Structure 1
Amino acid sequence: MNFDKIHISLKKNMLNFSRGVIFMCLVVNKGLKLELLPSKSMIQVLEQNIGNARFIWNNILGIYCDLYELFKFHGCPLSPTINNLNAILKMLKQENSFLYDGESTSQQQVFRDLNKAFTKLFKEKHGFPKFKSKKNPKQSFRIQKNGNNIKITNRRIRLAKLGYVHYRTSSKYKKLLKNSKINNVTVKRENGKYYAIVNITTTVEELEKTGKHIGIDLGLKNLATLSTGQEIVNLDLTHEEEMIHKYQRKLNRQKYMSNNYKKTLQKYYKWLNRKNNKIQNAYHQLSKYLVRNYDIIAMEDLNIKGMFKNKKWAPKLQRISLYKLVKMIKYKAEWYKKTFIQIDRFYPSSQLCNNCGYQKHDLTLGIREWTCPVCKTKHNRDINASKNILQKAIQENIVNS
């Protein structure tokens, strides 16, 4: 199963001559997810560093907010720069000596992440940075490569001040780890398991151009409807969800952190991971299929966060994880040098006739098929929308090129 999280890094181009055709190779930063197999003593070390990262984040954020109000009162607001946040970290380490026992680059990474959060707040209008909860099932810390502080062998990974940890992954990933430059390692606990996401620099070969384009209409009834007329149905996760709900109810009846509670929690995590892996695998296959077969991939820029406010839609949206699919298609299109276009979310793709352009203003969500009164073309709502999305994207691509 592929757990890749890839981000393009336009650092260097290479040429590969294969079968008489010249293919461009891009240098990319790729994340490889390894499952860690820590001993009981190592789990304590990992949890200590996870706790340190959370402690530093919460305290730096709290101290900065207090200092900001103080400086603002005196007419000179304090900017959340790297230097200011680093100064707060140094003060924290002087007051809390246990922080010196942790890995230093992971602690420095905390205030860098906090600085990025504030940058997004001011420039991109993201939400204010939130305090991290100990109850969150996803906890992590990141170690930056600094000399020989990170070493990976065929079976074990060594992290500075943490020691060696056994891991397991595919032979393909082991080969990549051996032949690629390591940038950083993020260690995280998720659903009862520990993982190391190793960020590496490697090269990928761009795919051959096909000359074909595709429009995609995402939905709740069907996961996606393609402009070719093909409908991608949602995954059948009924059994996984039934088991998840079963163990959720059982956990509610048991004493918190008792032996029986821990046993039930492991079973709950098992089914939760099985559901997530099933979604992850299907979406990787779908996104790779689209990117491999089409040069232009078009879809709407959906307001997924806004859609979650609808109480009827929220459970379905949470189940199918539309944002995850969009993200995969987007980064793989960049990876393989294909064109990914998202048209405006307010474009009336369902209302327009893709044949003559007539707009049916009274089209409601309950109407799945309609006939154009002008050209008499019969439309399937979703297929018609996907064709209009593709036409609009091609127009925008021609104008922008």
Structure 2
Amino acid sequence: MKSRYQYRCYPTPGQRQSLARLFGCVRVVWNDALAMCKQSDKLPKNNELQKLCITQAKNTEDREWLKQVSAIPLQQSVADLGVAFKNFFQSRSGKRKGRRVNPPRFKRRINRQTARFTRNGFKVKTSKVYLAKIGDIKVKWSRPLPSQPSSVAVIKDCAGRYFLSFVVEVEPEIEPPRNPSIGIDLGLKTFASCSNGDKVDSPDYSRLYRQLKRCQRRLAKRERGSKRRERMRVKVAKLNAQIRDKRKDFLHKLSTKVINENQVIVLEDLNVGGMLKNRKLSRAISQAGWYKFRSLCEGKTCIQNRDFRIISRWEPTSQVCSECGYRWGKLDLSIRTIVCINCGVEHDRDDNASVNIEQAGLKAKSCQEVGVGQTHDVKWTGSACKTSDEAVCGEPSTHREYVQLKLFDW
């Protein structure tokens, strides 16, 4: 299978100028090709766009500086635009699973810059990597490459850092799981409450957020177009990058641990869009990274041959006793401990929900075979998605089942 290995690189001042020239050329070719696609009635093919935006454009006075960089990243930019349009159309027609993909947009100079080289445009050396018309760039090899890379992408983020991202073929090492299944209830202060009793606290971003808030206030007072505003913008971008890297490292380590130790992983389909309407918790919810954790777990289960399941958001995991199945109804978020009036067992709110999530996930596959229970399709809820009678202990559900039909006109 193919995987990406990313490393930090440190180009010299002269190489930074060459990379800035390369990023500008790639950006201009992308924008020119996208403008032609929007003006034409039928989407042009990649060969036609390369001929118009690269070959013929080099012979004009406005685009003759395209000859100063390698032609490989320019061709890959047009190819990436074709893939972006393909993903957009397949997302609208339903052939592509997952979230809806937006149409490609024009690139800006201050955003994240990328340029991709194929095998003929780069060469991996002992401590450096050679790029066509750029030279040997010093790379910090944090881990060895498992195989010969097929392509490499040069990345410059908004904070001014440079990276090299290699595409390589890897053979995953499948480890036997220690536990048969686990249910995970996601939260804010306690990020994950597991059905086996483990709890994982969220990282502390308070110091970085205070610095970011202070720098954003200063950035708002700087005059647009000034050098002081540009320096403050870079400082804000660096703080955002630190927060993003810290969150990404936490989510990767936690998802890897969960996937390696368990055979069946069950999560709940959270309505994050509805939760964001709570103005007191919207910022904390958006910064928690719940969907990122879900996507990481889903991707790593395919590598380790694990079973990943998502239960319906309408499952009353916080309203049912995990011991006897008695349903006590909705509870305020301030209530963290519940004593069941039926069996007398004292439950922690999050631990009880994680156990119910695991039980509902294990029942889901057998329930689907007989046509009742839950359906793990977040785009549709109907009679086949209602909770089974065993989960509510004979009491009728207060939720109404309905079907949402959405017609997309693009």
- TM-score bracket, normalised by the shorter chain, equals 0.7 to 0.9
Q: By how many angstroms is 1:371 displaced? A: 3.9
Q: Answer yes or no: is the 8 Å Cα contact 1:138–1:188 preserved in 2.
A: yes
Moved more, 57-66 or 352-361: 352-361
Other-structure match for 1:231: 199
Distance 2:332 2:298 in 1: 30
The amino acid of 2:122's aligned partner reads: I
Write out aligned runs for 1:71-90 (5 A): 78=42, 80=43, 84-90=45-51
Cα deviation 1:178-213 (Å, max 9, x = unaligned): x51202112111111111111111223111232432
Distance 1:250 1:134 in 2: 23
Rate the CA distance shift 1:313–1:65 in 2: closer, same or farther, 3 A. Answer: farther
The amino acid of 2:129's aligned partner reads: I
Rate the CA distance shift 1:314–1:60 in 2: closer, same or farther, 3 A. Answer: farther
Are positions 1:194 and 2:194 aligned together? no
Are positions 1:246 and 2:214 aligned together? yes
Q: By how many angstroms is 1:43 displaced? A: 1.4
Distance 2:328 2:29 in 1: 56
Rate the CA distance shift 1:265–1:160 in 2: closer, same or farther, 3 A. Answer: same
Q: Which of 3, 8, 15 is residue 42 of structure 1 equivalent to?
A: 15
The structure in which a higher percent of residues are strand is 1
Distance 2:283 2:134 in 1: 40
Rate the CA distance shift 1:391–1:261 in 2: closer, same or farther, 3 A. Answer: same
Q: Answer yes or no: is the 8 Å Cα contact 1:86–1:108 preserved in 2.
A: no
Rate the CA distance shift 1:107–1:240 in 2: closer, same or farther, 3 A. Answer: same
The amino acid of 1:128's aligned partner reads: N
Distance 1:193 1:257 in 2: 22
Q: By how many angstroms is 1:137 displaced? A: 3.5
Cα deviation 1:325-355 (Å, max 9, x = unaligned): 2233233332222222222333332223323
Rate the CA distance shift 1:157–1:128 in 2: closer, same or farther, 3 A. Answer: same
Q: Answer yes or no: is the 8 Å Cα contact 1:118–1:128 preserved in 2.
A: no
Other-structure match for 1:102: 69
> More relative contact order in 1 or in 2 (CA 8 Å, sep 6+)?
1
Other-structure match for 1:55: 28
- The percent identity for this pair of structures is 27
Q: Answer yes or no: is the 8 Å Cα contact 2:30–2:107 preserved in 1.
A: no
Unaligned runs of 5+ in 1: 1-8, 10-28, 69-77
Moved more, 161-170 or 352-361: 352-361
Q: By how many angstroms is 1:106 displaced? A: 2.5
TM-score, reference length from structure 1: 0.78
Other-structure match for 2:407: none
Distance 2:16 2:219 in 1: 23
Distance 1:307 1:59 in 2: 40
Q: By how many angstroms is 1:91 displaced? A: 1.1
The amino acid of 2:102's aligned partner reads: F
Distance 1:117 1:307 in 2: 30
Rate the CA distance shift 1:113–1:393 in 2: closer, same or farther, 3 A. Answer: farther
Moved more, 279-288 or 226-235: 279-288
Aligned residues: 355
Q: By how many angstroms is 1:238 displaced? A: 0.9
TM-score, reference length from structure 2: 0.77
Distance 2:315 2:109 in 1: 41
Q: Which of 279, 287, 290 is residue 255 of structure 2 equivalent to?
A: 287
Q: Which of 128, 146, 151 is residue 102 of structure 2 equivalent to?
A: 128
Task: Indicate the SS of the match to 2:265.
Answer: strand
Other-structure match for 2:116: 142
Q: Answer yes or no: is the 8 Å Cα contact 2:34–2:106 preserved in 1.
A: no
Rate the CA distance shift 1:183–1:273 in 2: closer, same or farther, 3 A. Answer: same
Q: CA RMSD in A?
A: 2.8
Task: Indicate the SS of the match to 2:40.
Answer: helix
Moved more, 238-247 or 366-375: 366-375
Distance 2:150 2:171 in 1: 14
Distance 1:154 1:257 in 2: 42
Distance 1:330 1:306 in 2: 23
